[in-house]
Amino acid sequence: MQKKLREMAEEEFIEHYEKYTEDVMSNGFLEMPSKTNFASYMNVPKKDVIYWYKQHPQAQDVLNQMTADVIIEGMAKKKYQASSGAFALKNWCKWTDSPKQESSGADNTKTLMSEKEAKERLKAFNAEQEGLIRFKKAD
């Protein structure tokens, strides 16, 4: 599998990773989904998994989301400590505590609106809803 993993197409790799994450969940979250544990699951050296990740950066969003889903599920079921789960989400899945103010689009982080803009949009939405309620009462 070692040589094959390095040459594996993205779709096939993702299918193997999905099966791995399903196994982590069905086995009671006995381990966190990580590159090291995935390498062990695939019976290949960790360096081969890391090599594959570096060769396929476009697949990392999907793999990170799959990893995050398992970690969140494990935290919700109290199988993982909140602190270690939060650490994994930040460091392995590229989550952040606070939104980035600027986004070049290259790292796929979303820029959130300012508090002022959010309040303005909420005020406009509430006014629109109030108008709809008045319109319905007039019927």
Domain count, the chain: 1
Mean pLDDT of the chain: 82
Q: What's the Cα-to-Cα distance from 23 to each of 17, 20, 36, 99, rounded to whole Å?
A: 10, 5, 15, 33
pTM comes to 0.66
CA distance 23 to 110: 31
Residue 135 is assigned to a structural domain of this protein: no
CA distance 96 to 57: 19
pLDDT tens digits for range 22-61: 999 999 999 999 999 999 999 999 999 999 999 999 999 9
Residue 74 is assigned to a structural domain of this protein: yes
Residue 70 is assigned to a structural domain of this protein: yes
Residue 21 is assigned to a structural domain of this protein: yes
Using pLDDT thresholds of 50, 70 and 90, give the confidence band for residue 100: low
Residue 139 is assigned to a structural domain of this protein: no
List the domain range (segments joined by +) for residue 18. 2-99
Residue 85 is assigned to a structural domain of this protein: yes
Of 70, 56, 53, give the one whose Cα is nearest residue 18.
70
Residue 95 is assigned to a structural domain of this protein: yes
CA distance 22 to 91: 21
Residue 134 is assigned to a structural domain of this protein: no
